[in-house]
Chains A and B, each alone.
Chain A
Amino acid sequence: MSKKDGTDEFEPFILGIFCNWCTYTGADQAGTSRMQRPANLRIMRVMCSGRVESRFIIEALKRGADGVLIGACHIGDCHYVSGNHKTVRRMPLIKEFVKQYGFNPKRVRLEHISASEGAELTEISKEFVKELKEIGPNPRNKK
């Protein structure tokens, strides 16, 4: 995948699945405030992190994504009362699936980022990119 020519370091592909009310808006805020982050994060929008199915994550990893970042509201702030609680409860199961498929469970992260936390999103993306560079490319991702 997107290897930079002449260097060994690879550029991880991160798929972000963000809830409309908190993390997606937070990502917009990061943009409006021009907070620079490495160009690794692709963002798709769902109304609530509770909508995220385990198969989305498995499929993304199977097809070569190096990391998946789920963005949810803080506990207690969910626009839909408790959708993010259900995501939190679903995470251990998802991590177990990920392991059974032979992936490092660290490739999947759930982060609570509010609509005003563009700076947090920026920090988390940087950190995740660094971590994924240490873990290395997704083994399924062979040309």
Chain B
Amino acid sequence: MTESNPKTISKSINPKKEDVRIGLYICNCGINIAGVLQMDDMIEFGKTLPNVTLCKQYKFYCSDNGQAEIAKDIKDGLVNRVVVAACSPRMHEPTFRRVLKENGLNPFYFAQANIREHATWVNMYDHEGAQRIAKDHIRMQVAKVRKLKALETIKVKVKPSTLIIGAGIAGMNSALDLADQGFEVFLVERELTIGGHMAQLDKTFPTMDCSSCILTPKMVDVSRNPNIHIMAYSEVEQVDGYVGNFEVKIKHKAHYVDQNKCTGCGACIDSCPVICGNSFDLNMSSRKAIYIPFPQAVPGQFTIDIDHCIKCGNCALPNICEPGAIIYDEEDHYSTIKVGTIIVSTGYDQIDPTNLKNYGYGVYENVITGLEMERNLSSTGPNLGKPVCPSNGKPPHSIAWLQCVGSRDNREGYHPYCSRVCCMYAIKQARQYKEKHPEAECYIFYMDIRAFGKGYEEFYESSSHNFGIKYMRGRLAEIYQNPDKTLLIRGEDTFLSRPIALTVDLVVLSTGVEARTDAAHVASMLGIQQSSDGFFMEAHPKLRPIDSLTAGIFMAGVAQGPKDIPDAVSQAKGAASGAAILMAKGEVEVDPYYAVVQPNLCSGCRSCINLCPYSAISFDDNQNVAYINPIMCHGCGTCVASCPSNAIYQNHFTGDQLMIMITDVLGGIN
């Protein structure tokens, strides 16, 4: 490292005396930027920067008029490099690059200074400070744009096939939309059957449609579609590759029943002596160790629950299983598929209210969760549609629903967000019960009723006016069990400012939804991000709510955030459309940020080879130098930073380009 003198910066600006004419456009972004910065001072400052031939401001450079202004300056030959000082490049870099491209300039002669998210929005009250930071950010990008080189984007072929992870209502809708367009779909589901949580619900709000009546025909459509490969009881193990060319390793869990031979006749059920909890009914009923989750399950073949099976051999007897499908020693097996796009629709977990000790869930028999009530109400559930109190098996006379259990709760382990479905499902359950038991007392204890969807408010109004459901505003404080197993609930009616004490037969905790416990694992396997609430993070909350930050990966349903069925289906169709756009085009442009070895500088030390996580670097034994495959390189630049001979550079992030940002911004602070 040689001692460098800060005074020499200006000399190194332009060694080749190239013709560099920079247009610097400072966006006001309405008042987002101009309300904090002194724009006139910014313009004066911009004009003093080396190679800046013109410096302008405008209300919104991302608008048509703003873009046209930049386009005109390029066409008039006034500028041949562009810096826009505005929002984050993550937002509008593609917009402005397109302006350059459409006007005959290489799109990589562009840099964007982030003076909104990184300056005016984080220093809203310190105007002087924001000005200082904004100037430094502009200085850095002007320095960088001087050094930028023209680049060509790489075009990558997109395989016309999609992996969909999770076959709930969202995953199934995406699968059908894509398959109907002729794309091949691999629908991977962790459970034995497709259908997801919706299969467990009894009716849907606000139309009171029977959930399985609208779901099971969809499940059959999915299973009959020749373009959809259902991979039930399977999990994604590993994902490699990049947009257009993902390679996915899938683990197929052992069924212990040959899925090709099993006819689903069910003769084995009676022969099985083992009785265990039925997880589909949340262990409120029992099933045998050889089972299908529910009668309409797709696929409809049987599976042995090997943790409970005692391997008595009854089901394998030739007079029981005539096709001879039972294989006790079956093992998990793996397969690898290649797909162009991925949709993540892994759904949610129900919040576990056990730790909310004041509600006594898990201690008092008659305190149940919303999903348990759903099974309790379901005609296919443990009580065949006649809800009962778990303590005595009799229908309850009075029921209380407690809203916001686990959501809108800032305590450790619970969630500040609104789960968006609990208000409506509580109203629906109460109405369902009232329809059959008009004499029953139904109370809903709420903080706010959020009836935001189409027809929801009307449904809520009618539940109170026409069905006599009683709404009480206030979060309940405690629940105690009386000796006869009824429950004493205590809290405050915040409208009347009066304490409430009420005895009811059954309490339903309207538990919210949370991200799957293994969401972090899935995120790191796919290279996508999670928001602070644990759900998968969208590329932009408003404009790209379905795309992940990784190209080619989309998300649908509650995996991205709490939502009801219509919203999950809409998003699923959006995700299918996003994936179809890539696949219909057949190719996608990838930023050419790959690294390049300069053979004349490479000493052949091979230290870069082991650093590359993608095995993109090979060694050329004839020339004794390393070589980087530009298609396999993902463009992280780790090899560049570690090359002892400085022989590797990364396009658009070369040592020169990054270094001049540092030297210029620090040269400027004095």
**A-to-B contact residues, CB < 8 Å:** 1-2, 11, 13, 15, 20-22, 24-25, 27-28, 30-32, 34-48, 50-53, 55-56, 58-60, 62-65, 76-77, 79-83, 86, 90, 114-117, 119, 122, 143
Contacts of B614 in A (CB 8 A): 81
Q: Check if A52 sits within 8 Å of B641, measured CB to CB.
A: yes
Q: Could you list 13 examples of A-B contacts with CB < 8 Å?
A: A13-B669, A31-B122, A39-B126, A39-B128, A42-B140, A63-B666, A65-B666, A77-B529, A79-B550, A86-B638, A86-B641, A114-B530, A115-B537
Please, which residue of chain A has its CB at the minimum distance from the CB of B643?
A53
| Cβ–Cβ contact B635 & A47, under 8 A | yes
- Once the chains bind, are A44 and B661 in contact (CB under 8 Å)? yes
Does A80 lie within 8 Å of B638, measured CB to CB? yes
B6 x A63 contact (CB < 8 A): yes
Further pairs besides A44-B661, A51-B636, A81-B614: 15, Cβ < 8 Å? A30-B117, A37-B122, A38-B126, A39-B130, A39-B132, A41-B118, A46-B658, A50-B637, A55-B1, A64-B666, A77-B524, A79-B550, A90-B641, A115-B537, A116-B531
Q: How many angstroms from the CA of A62 to the CA of B6 in the assembled complex?
A: 9
Q: Is the CB of B122 within 8 A of A34?
A: yes
Cβ-defined contact, B641 with A80, below 8 A? no
Q: Is the CB of B124 within 8 A of A56?
A: no
- Contact between A59 and B4 (Cβ–Cβ < 8 Å)? yes
For residue A120, which residue of chain B has the nearest CB? B532
CA distance A15 to B659 in the complex (A): 12
- Partner pick for A43 among B129, B137, B550, CB 8 A cutoff: B137
**A13 to B666, Cβ gap below 8 A?**
yes
Give CA–CA (A59, B323) in the complex, Å. Answer: 75
Closest CB in chain B relative to A60 CB, distance in Å: 5
B123 at the interface (CB under 8 A from A): yes
Whether A36 pairs with B634 at a CB distance below 8 angstroms is no
B218-249 contacts to A, CB under 8 A, are: none
Q: Which residues of chain A are near B658, meaning CB under 8 Å?
A: 44, 46, 51, 53, 56
Chain A residue numbers with a CB within 8 Å of B531 are: 116
Q: Which residues of B line the A interface, CB within 8 A?
A: 1, 3-4, 6, 88-90, 114, 116-119, 121-126, 128-130, 132-133, 136-137, 140, 523-524, 527, 529-532, 537, 541, 549-550, 593, 611, 613-614, 634-638, 640-642, 650, 653, 655, 658-659, 661-663, 665-667, 669-670
- Residues on A with C-beta less than 8 A from B638 are 48, 50-51, 80, 83, 86
On chain A, the residues within 8 Å of B662 by CB distance are 15, 44, 56, 59-60, 63, 65
**Complex-state Cα separation, A116 to B538, whole angstroms:** 11
Q: How far is the CA of A82 from the CA of B613 in the complex (A)?
A: 7
- Tell me how far the C-beta of B111 lies from the nearest C-beta in chain A, rounded to whole angstroms: 10
| A42 and B636 contact, Cβ closer than 8 Å, known pairs A28-B117, A51-B653 | no
A39 to B90, CA, bound (A): 22
Contacts of B130 in A (CB 8 A): 39
Docked pose: A115 CA to B570 CA in angstroms = 26
In the complex, A76 Cα to B613 Cα: how many Å?
13
**B121: contacting residue among A31, A47, A48, A51, CB under 8 A:** A31
Whether B669 lies near A64 (C-beta < 8 A) is yes
Partner of B529, one of A22, A36, A63: A22
B221–chain A nearest beta-carbon distance, Å: 37
Chain A residues within an 8 Å CB radius of B537: 115-116
- 9 closest cross-chain pairs (CB), A and B: A39-B129, A31-B117, A50-B638, A51-B637, A80-B636, A81-B613, A48-B636, A63-B666, A31-B121
How close is B651's CB to chain A, nearest CB, in angstroms? 10
Q: Is the CB of B529 within 8 A of A115?
A: yes
B88 touches A80 (CB 8 A): no
Residues of A contacting B529 with CB < 8 Å?
21-22, 25, 77, 114-116
Residues on the B chain within 8 Å of A1, using CB: 669-670
Chain B positions within 8 Å of A47 at CB level: 593, 635-637, 650, 653
Q: What residues on B are CB-neighbors of A11 within 8 Å?
A: 129
Are B124 and A34 closer than 8 Å at their CB atoms? yes
Interchain nearest-CB distance for B152 vs A (Å)? 18
Q: Smallest Cβ distance from A78 to chain B, in angstroms? A: 8
| Smallest CB gap from B89: residue in A | A45
What is the minimal beta-carbon distance from A87 to any residue of chain B, in angstroms? Answer: 8
Query: Which residues of chain B are near A81, meaning CB under 8 Å?
Result: 613-614
CB-CB under 8 A from A90, the residues of chain B are 641-642
CA–CA, A115 to B4, complex, Å? Answer: 36
Contact in complex: A83, B636 (CB < 8 Å): yes
Contact B124 A2 (CB under 8 A): no
Chain A residues near B669: list those with CB within 8 A.
Answer: 1-2, 13, 64
Neighbouring B residues of A48 by C-beta, 8 Å = 636-638
B116 close to A39 (CB less than 8 A): no
Give bound CA distance, A1 to B642, whole Å: 33
- Using Cβ atoms and an 8 Å threshold, which residues of chain B touch A46? 637, 653, 658
**CB nearest to A27 among chain B residues:** B118
CB distance from A50 to the nearest CB of B (A): 3
Residue among B125, B137, B661 with max Cβ neighbours from chain A (10 Å): B661
Q: Is the CB of A62 within 8 A of B122?
A: no
Task: List, in ascending order, chain B residues with CB within 8 A of A76's CB.
Answer: 524
CA gap between A143 and B6 in the complex, in Å: 11
Q: Which of A38, A39, A65, A116 contacts B530 (CB 8 A)?
A: A116
Q: Cβ of A34: which chain B residues have Cβ within 8 Å of it?
A: 121-122, 124
User: Nearest A residue to B123 by beta-carbon distance?
Assistant: A39
Q: Which residues of B contact A40 (CB under 8 A)?
A: 129
Contacts of A32 in B (CB 8 A): 117, 121, 541
Measured between beta carbons, the chain A residues less than 8 angstroms from B550 are 79
> Of B122, B532, B550, which is in contact with the most chain A CB atoms at under 10 Å from its CB?
B122
* Chain A residue with Cβ nearest B539: A25
A4 vs B640: C-alpha distance when bound (angstroms): 39
User: Chain A residues near B129 (CB, 8 Å)?
Assistant: 11, 38-40
Q: Which one of A20, A56, A79 contacts B659 once the chains associate, using CB atoms below 8 Å?
A: A56
Q: How far is the CA of A2 from the CA of B642 in the complex (A)?
A: 34
Smallest CB-CB separation from A57: which chain B residue? B662
B665 engages A86 (CB within 8 Å): no
Q: In the complex, which residue of chain A has the Cβ closest to the Cβ of B90? A: A28
CA distance in complex: A141, B280 (Å): 68
B122 x A30 contact (CB < 8 A): yes
A121 to B471: give the CA distance in the assembly, Å. Answer: 43
Give Cα distance in the complex from A69 to B402, angstroms: 47
Query: Chain B residue with minimal CB distance to A41?
Result: B133
B108 to chain A, nearest CB (A): 14
